[in-house]
Structure 1
Amino acid sequence: MQFKAVIVDDEQPICDEIEYLLKKHPNITVEKKFNHCFDALAYITENKPDVLFLDIKMPGISGLDMAKKLSALSKPPLIVFITAFQEHALEAFNTPAIGYITKPVTEEKLTSIIQKIRNLLARDHPKQPHQSNKICVIDNGKILPLNKQDIILASVSERDVYIRTIHQQYTCNLSFKEIETILSDENFLRVHRQYIVNLDDIVEIIPWFHGSFVLRMEGNQQENIPVSRTKVKLLKQLMGLK
């Protein structure tokens, strides 16, 4: 299920940082960023995003005033306040906000609130048809449905997407983002912008430069799969490393 988000903060670098962190969550799409509440109000009223990340202290209309105006909509977005001042959080409880994040915004803070967003929005969206447990790949012009659990690795190179099993590598017509979404409910992790790995098929975790790792996978132990530094902590948690 895809959720649409809008970010409003008068500091552009903060807007950009929140967008960067949200991109790590494949089912949330940032549709627009604003530095003023006036423009944001018009856009939200017309386009009806699901979620709004909103700075409280804004020039002109404050974030608190904007939230009160949005509450008059037939379907207002879920609002997450962003604030540099802990005391403003108390004011947020007089609005329809679902929570707040104090600056600086971090991946850990966002992940916690995003889980709450997912739970709230899931109640308002009808259930999707059951998704197949297979991904279709191309082999000599034929379309082969592969079981997800048979996939060891997915990778992308110059927009070409590849799916690897223990026996063979295939091409796939889906985008890498679509592959990530399909595998998000399984035992897979995007460890790098070019690689998604099956955690059950990791055979070696090798310490690398600057506190990172490279992985070696079942069926192809000669190739080093890099782990981005931003994913090291999560990988260690999932693999039970201290």
Structure 2
Amino acid sequence: MRIAIIDDEKPSRNELTYLIKKVLPDASVSEFASGEEGLKAIAEEPFDLLCIDINLGDISGISLAVAARKFIPEAEIVFATAYNNYADKAFEVEALYYLLKPFSEGKVRQMLEKYNQKHEKNIYDTRPLLSKISLYVDKKIVLLEISSIIYIESQNRVCIVHTKGKSYKDSNPLSYFEERLAENGFFRIQKSYLINLNYAVELYPWFNNTYCVKMEGFEDAVLPISRNQIKKLKNIICI
């Protein structure tokens, strides 16, 4: 489950992240210190849940929620704020929950359980790691070794799964593979690319202070890394 916390107060962000991870250890939580940062991330990343403060300093949390609805309409919105007089606005954007500061573990758990109930899935379950993933190819189901996948790219609503010896087309969205392969060393470098970090061989500078990654066996392929993701990637690989 991918969660974004957008709040200009660092202590509030840290506290909410701590409580979410305490209740849901496997959640992927990203923090953003302004409405502008949050909006850029929302435009690039498929979050499941957005926790937005009402007063962000640069832009209104309500305006940000309205914009988020356009970028990722399937995402749930929670207003995590100290202001209790915006319930009518929360109703207008169909917010899932209104989480008042100071946060508590009980309220955070209640928020996550409401998400759980609405989407009819148990977000607390952990699935066993499997060595293969199924792809639908030419009306057949191909069982592919996960360890053989170098990277996956999204093109025209179709995902292309690149392995050492062959490429396969599958109709599932890239977000499906991102969630399914999260525990197998895969990382989404940009909205159109998911890479197997075990096969990353080089990061190199690209245009406008961005970076690209070179993958083993696909050295000629240009795989750009978004500005938001390069920081996370460097933390993962300890640079």
State if a TM-score over 0.5 links the two structures: yes
In structure 2, the CA distance between the partners of 1:207 and 1:23, relative to structure 1 (3 Å rule), is: closer
In structure 2, the CA distance between the partners of 1:98 and 1:185, relative to structure 1 (3 Å rule), is: farther
2:125 equivalent in structure 1: 128
2:161 aligns with one of 163, 172, 191: 163
1:152 equivalent in structure 2: 150
Report whether the alignment pairs 1:196 with 2:194: yes
* Contact 2:133 2:144 survives alignment (8 Å): yes
2:13 equivalent in structure 1: none
For structure 1, the residue ranges without an aligned partner over 5 or more in a row are 8-13, 37-48, 57-62, 68-75, 82-91, 100-116
2:229 equivalent in structure 1: 231
For structure 2, the residue ranges without an aligned partner over 5 or more in a row are 8-33, 55-60, 64-74, 88-95, 117-121
Larger C-alpha radius of gyration, 1 or 2? 1
In structure 2, the CA distance between the partners of 1:226 and 1:53, relative to structure 1 (3 Å rule), is: same
1:28 aligns with one of 48, 56, 70: 48
TM-score where L is the length of structure 1: 0.56
Listed one character per residue, the Cα deviations across residues 145-204 of structure 1 (whole Å, up to 9, x for unaligned) are 223222110100111111111111101121112112212233111111110111110122
* Contact 2:3 2:51 survives alignment (8 Å): no
Work out the CA distance in 2 between the residues paired with 1:193 and 1:173. Answer: 16
2:216 equivalent in structure 1: 218
1:87 equivalent in structure 2: none
Q: Which amino acid aligns with 1:53?
A: F
**CA-based RMSD:** 4.4
Q: 1:43-54 alignment to 2 at 5 Å?
A: 52-54=78-80
TM-score where L is the length of structure 2: 0.57
Q: 1:93-112 alignment to 2 at 5 Å?
A: 93=102, 97-98=103-104
Percent identical residues:
22
SS in 2 for 1:135: strand
* Contact 2:151 2:194 survives alignment (8 Å): yes
In structure 2, the CA distance between the partners of 1:98 and 1:26, relative to structure 1 (3 Å rule), is: farther
